[in-house]
Structure 1
Amino acid sequence: MADDAEKVLYSKLESIAKEQGYENYTTDVHEFNTGGANYTSRLYHITLSAPGCPDLNVFAKVALLSEKMRSKFPVELYSNEILYYSDILKRFHEFEENYNIDTKHRLRSIKCYGYSNEYLKENIVLEDLTSKGFTTLDRFLCVDWKYASRAVTELAKFHSLSIAFRLKHPEEFENFKEKFPVIFNEHLLKDFFDNHASKTIAAIKEENRQRLADYLKSQDFNFSKIPIRCPVLVHGDFRPSNIMHKENEDGELELFLLDYQGFQISSPLMDLMYFVVISTDKEFRSKHYHQLLDLYYSELSSSLKRLQVDPETVYTKDDFQHDVKLFEPYGVIIGTLILPTMSVFVENARNIENTEDANMFEIDPCETGSQRLNDLIDDFVKLGVL
């Protein structure tokens, strides 16, 4: 951790200790590495201990992107996430209270203890779920039906609360478009595929390589202008690395969505398609692709009804199917962009803390990444997208 960022974090921890009544406290700080699953932050498990108080276990993220790399991403690190925890999540809880939503149907959320949004010194301190037995799925593993169905059920709660927010506060919702710029915008995507995707394209098997290359050339990558039929606040990076889970004694899988840096306004299909291409394999999609989409819509409808919103007035099944077809091309592009990076081995993961390398996402896909990408392209050929 850089000296200045370290001072800011420890100052924040001091404030948290004071707020929680932890006098004469000590800190136990452990940095950990996700081995290629995270590229923007340094991550820490921290325990605050004080006489007569239970240990307070928190999780801290400290920004590490260099100024050169920040210019590639049109977002202030953690600003979206800070807004989510400081404002939007409170609104969501108010909706759940006002409509007497049963606990089992409420969006699971963690506590935010504090943050700093000072440029190049950003940090955010959250409840540490690992101390309660939660973990993330190994990024080299693909999800099974139990995990995937539970994940999209939680996502449906999140999106339904967003729809309720839009209906209750339409002007404020519209203003979010200025606050939540699209991370994977058309300029970044076009630059990647024009200049840095040669290794990825080369990993595609010959029978599909030219088909994919021609398809990518035909795209303008401006998904923010797609005429979606039900705009929502989307997570933007909905994958197992940003979901913590624990299997309870009764066999139920408990999930929490984390990491709202990619927060933006789009179609629910942005999150769904992203989850499918990053988290599932060919076998899962052959059995469950359409089943998973149907489950999501069913859960969204149920969640909306609990909030006294009629799905038929805001997002019919036909509207949903319309958006599926609009966002399947997004799946092709994001899968091609991200799968090689997300499946990179630890020893090959790039350190971008001080990098000036504009080609840092140009990675030779490993065997696992190549296989998953080729399987994905095969599936989109079968779906008639390619």
Structure 2
Amino acid sequence: MDAASVNTHKQECDYPSAKVLTALQQLLERQYSSDSFTYQLFPATKKGENYIGIVYRVSINLNTSFGIRFSNLILKMAPRNSTRRKQFFIRPCFQREALAYEEFLPMIDRFQCSKGLPEEYRFHEYAKCFYTSTNALEEVIFLEDLSAQQFVVFDRFDDFQFEHIALVMRTYAKLHAVSFAIKDQQPEALHKFRNIQDIFLQHKNDSNLNIYFEGLKRSALACLELKNDEYRKILSTFFERPFFEIFSDLIDGNKGEPYAVLCHGDCWNNNLMFKLKDTNAVTMRLLDWQLLRYSSPISDLMYFIFTCTTRKFRKAHYEDALNVYYEELIRHINRLGSNPLKLFPREKFDKELKNRGALALLFVMIVLPIITLKSEDVPDLDKLSEQADAGKLKNLMDSGLLCEGNLHEYSQRMHDVIIDCIHFGYIY
């Protein structure tokens, strides 16, 4: 197949199939039954902003009795390239996100409504979902277009302000509080979700993935200068066990009872959207529920804080951010009619931080190369998948996720995370 044919095939694989377009047409007919409409599809993300799904913005032109008006929605579909689907866990990720939108988020909304809470006090910070399908090779999710409401993704190359960090911490606190309250009052409602296996752990026996993750250890160690011999010894000791063995002990919710909850799971910059309200206050939404997991709430906090802040920020505000989270957690559990001091007392929260704080390093090892990579340096994901499938990805340089363009920032930020994790007593 020549280069032109390959590009044409790739474009076809990355465009919605006939079945997906039929589902879109039917959704729009239901939404706008009395109006005529036309629509166009436009790419909704830039290169490097989404690794699991292919995202289109559906621009809808409505011809109503009041004249022409416009509307948008988001079409998020699974790639059909078989190797990419395998290497990026595409199908299980879309199944997990469909579970979130079809069952988990409606369940927690019903529970909060049953308590008579007005919307501003509920956990409601997610996009409205109109349709999901998990049919093989046709996986798709239709969502409201938050950008039409002036929500924007914070530039991942800018530093967050404390106001944004505090808002995210309060949002995660409300999300986790609902799980605590449901476990307390309706434990059978969470039974199904408590048994879902972490996406990464589903692939712990993949030999190529194990090789790649062992390479992540070497990349992390390389970020410590030789003069930091004491830190190198501590990190080397921490890394003595296989990556997945360490990760499993820290992430498995059943090992973290009674303090495990349903977690968002993918808490990095591109999955957070912010909007400045008329009152000059900021509101936000969480995107991408493809890594929804049953785990310690610490997993969401460590993922977010350590991938999205600098050491300078953590030095100034780390304890403040944790306090914001815990205070909102207490308030929301109280609003929902349970006793927070019984369900998750502060001393247990602090102990969970010590026991599971090392997740910060593991998450950063996985996602920091992606976060620091500029759009123009992002490798072709289909080719990357083929390399991974052939066992050619032994380290970050092999993958193309670490290159001249992000090596310095990656090395500095990884160094800082390691030092902080040791200073906080998470790695010893």
TM-score, normalising length from structure 1?
Answer: 0.91
CA distance in structure 1 between the aligned counterparts of 2:116 and 2:171, rounded to whole angstroms: 18
| CA distance, structure 2, for counterparts of residue 249 and residue 235 of structure 1 | 28
Q: Distance in 1 between matches of 2:322 and 2:265?
A: 17
- Equivalent position of 1:303 in the other structure: 332
Please point out which of 92, 97, 100 is paired with 1:76: 92
Matched position secondary structure for 1:26:
strand
- CA apart distance, 1:174: 2.4
Match of 1:88 among 104, 108, 111: 104
**1:357 alignment counterpart:** 387
Give distance in 1, aligned partners of 2:48 and 2:351: 35
User: Deviation of residue 70 (structure 1)?
Assistant: 4.0
- Equivalent residue, structure 2, for 1:18: 29
Q: Work out the CA distance in 1 between the residues paired with 2:379 and 2:283.
A: 32
**RMSD of aligned alpha carbons:** 2.4
State the partner residue of 2:188: 171
- In structure 2, distance between residues paired with 1:165 and 1:72: 35
* 1:334-380 CA distance string (max 9 Å, x none): 11222122211222212224631212864325222221111111212
How many percent of aligned residue pairs carry the same amino acid?
Answer: 24
1:64 pairs with 79, 91, 100, which one?
79
The whole-number CA distance in structure 2 between the counterparts of 1:327 and 1:80 is 24
1:366 aligns with 2:366: no
Aligned partner of residue 350 in structure 1, secondary structure: coil
Partner of 1:107: 123
Please say if residues 60 and 124 of structure 1, whose CA atoms lie closer than 8 Å, have aligned partners that are also in contact: yes
Which amino acid in structure 2 is aligned with residue 192 of structure 1?
Y
1:48 aligns with 2:35: no
Counterpart position of 2:143: 126
Equivalents in 1 of 2:328, 2:92: separation in Å?
33
Question: Match of 1:243?
Answer: 272
Contact map agreement 1:229 1:267 (CA 8 A) in 2: no
Is the CA contact (8 Å cut-off) linking 1:5 and 1:120 kept in structure 2?
A: no
SS in 2 for 1:25: strand
Cα pair 1:238 1:274 within 8 Å, conserved: yes
Q: Secondary structure at the match of 1:118?
A: coil
Task: Give the letter aligned to residue 169 of structure 2.
Answer: V
Specify the code of the residue in structure 1 equivalent to 2:418: I
Q: Contact 1:58–1:125 (CA<8 Å) still a contact in 2?
A: yes
In 2, Cα distance between equivalents of 1:173 and 1:20: 32
Report the equivalent of 2:3: none
C-alpha contact (below 8 Å) 2:260/2:296 kept by paired residues: yes
* Structure 1 residues not aligned, in runs of 5+: none
Secondary structure at the counterpart of residue 28 of structure 1: strand
Equivalent residues in 2 for 1:155-304 (5 A)?
155-178=172-195, 180-185=196-201, 190-195=210-215, 197-206=217-226, 207=228, 208-209=231-232, 211-218=234-241, 220-221=245-246, 222=248, 223=250, 224=252, 226-304=255-333
Q: Give the C-alpha shift of residue 284 in structure 1.
A: 0.9
Hey, what's the Cα distance between the residues in 2 that align with 1:383 and 1:126? Answer: 40
* Residue matched to 1:317: 346
How far residue 308 of structure 1 moved from its aligned partner, in angstroms, is 0.5
Segments of structure 2 that go 5 or more residues without pairing to the other structure are 1-10
Q: Per-residue CA shift, 1:124-153, capped at 9, x if unaligned?
A: 110001011110111222322100000111
Where 1:230 maps in the other structure, the secondary structure is coil
Shift of 1:69: 4.3
TM-score using structure 2 length: 0.83
Name the SS for the 1:309 alignment partner: coil
Pick closer, same or farther for the CA change 1:16–1:103 going to 2, 3 Å: same
Q: 1: distance between equivalents of 2:211 and 2:340?
A: 39
The reply to whether residue 6 of structure 1 matches residue 17 of structure 2 is yes
Check conservation: 1:73, 1:183, Cα contact below 8 A.
Answer: no
- Deviations 1:243-291 (CA, angstroms, capped at 9, x unpaired): 1111112221111111110101011101001001111111110011111
**Aligned equivalents of 1:187 and 1:216: distance in 2?**
18
Structure 2: distance between partners of 1:214 and 1:66: 39
Per-residue CA shift, 1:301-348, capped at 9, x if unaligned?
100100011102211111111111111111122112221222112222
Count of aligned pairs: 385
Aligned to 1:136: 153
How do 1:140-155 residues align onto structure 2 when only pairs under 5 Å count?
Answer: 140-155=157-172
Distance (whole Å) between structure 1 residues aligned to residue 138 and residue 154 of structure 2: 29
8 Å contact from structure 1 (residues 5, 122) kept in 2: no
Once residues 242 and 320 of structure 1 are traced to their aligned partners in structure 2, the CA distance between those partners, rounded to angstroms, is 25
Question: Which position in structure 2 is the counterpart of 1:382?
Answer: 423
Write the letter of the residue equivalent to 1:270: S
Greater radius of gyration (CA): 2
Compared CA separation, residues 289 and 241, structure 1 to 2 (3 A): same
Structure 1 229/326 Cα, relative in aligned 2: closer, same or farther at 3 Å? farther
Secondary structure of 1:217's counterpart equals coil
State the distance in 2 between where 1:150 and 1:290 align: 15
Q: Does 1:343 align with 2:372?
A: yes
Residue of structure 1 in register with 2:8 after alignment: none
